[in-house]
Every structure is written in C-alpha cells, then in structure tokens.
Amino acid sequence: MKKKNLEIITYGNDILRKIAAPVEKIDQDVVNLCREMIQSMKAAKGIGLAAPQVGVSKRIIVVLQDPERAKALTIINPEIIECEGEIKGEEGCLSLPGIIGEVNRCARVLVRGLDKKGAPFEIEGTEILGRVFQHEIDHLDGKLFIDRFSFVRRKLINKKLRQLKQETLAKLTGVQ
C-alpha cells in the first residue's frame, strides 16, 4: 500500500500565522507525523518542513541534514539557543510556491530540541543547514520568510501573494 503524502498548506491559510504549540508527549502519532512529514517534504522536493505547513500546529520540524544523501533530521520543540554573524541568501518556501527572495539570517545557529524518542540534543547549523533551521523555526512562530523581505521586495510580490491567498481560500471554501 502506497503511503499518501500530506497536503502542504499554502499562503492564505491562517495556520501559517499561528504560534505552534509545544509537543507535550512523543507518542506513536507524533512519530508517524514526523515520518509522513519527511516523506511529504522529499516528495515536494523541499529541504525543510514545519508541522504547521501540513496543517498541524505543533512545534516539529524536519530538515534534510545532507541534501546529497537525502538524510533527514527531525527536531521536536526546537529552539535556537545561540546565533551569531549575519549572512544574506536566497530562500523559497513550499507554502509560498513561486516566490523567492533574499533574506538576512544568522550565519551560525545552535539548535536544541528532542529527537523522536524524546532524547534532548543540540545541533549546529551553518550555511544552508543553519538557514533551513531558522526558516522552519520561524514557521513555528507564525512567521514567513517574506516577512523578512525589504519593503520594496514585498511591494513587488503583493500581486502574487493576493493570487496565492485567493487560490488557498478557494480551496478551503470549495468556491472557485
């Protein structure tokens, strides 16, 4: 039996703007969600995914730790405990298809969280890995990468954002 990929929520859905709740207990449902998130992220050709992006307001992220070998990492209740430097780079998002732009991020972050067995761990992220950690943790706080765009860049994408929101609302209400 082929597993079904989770639907990726797009811009305009309110869940993307809500602060996700901490995971209180890591049970089989949470482990299954993590596995399905990894599968869905890979199917969508993404390198990171946060639970709110699949309609679950929980503090869980999955990240391709090594995009070359497609090794995925799950972090439950992640938090950035150290951040240093600054680096600018281009980002996109599975929840905002067709939109990319330059975003300033910390050059290095140290993230603390729990694995799928509930064991605490820390992991350092620099370059693309650090950027993905920050991007996905932003999702858990109801923030989108477009919030970090310059005023001018945000003005330039306004039409596309309105169109995405309209498509999302049509999907949610069933009205085209």
Q: Which amino acid is at 103?
A: V
Stretch 112-140: mean pLDDT: 97
At residue 175, the pLDDT reads 63
CATH 1.10.10.10 fits 14-173, yes or no: no
CB atoms within 10 A of CB 157: 17
The two structure tokens encoding residue 74: 């799950």
105-120 pLDDT, tens digit per residue, is 999 999 999 999 999 9
At residue 171, the pLDDT reads 84
Mean pLDDT computed over every residue of the chain: 93
The two structure tokens encoding residue 97: 């298809």
The larger pLDDT score, comparing residue 72 to residue 65, is at 72
The span from the CA of 7 to the CA of 54, in Å, is: 6
Provide the terminal-to-terminal Cα distance of the chain, rounded to the nearest Å.
Answer: 33
38-53 pLDDT, tens digit per residue, is 999 999 999 999 999 9
Please identify every residue annotated as catalytic: 136
Confidence tier at 1 by pLDDT (50, 70, 90): very low
- Domain residue extents for the chain: 14-173
Cα Rg, the chain, nearest whole Å: 16
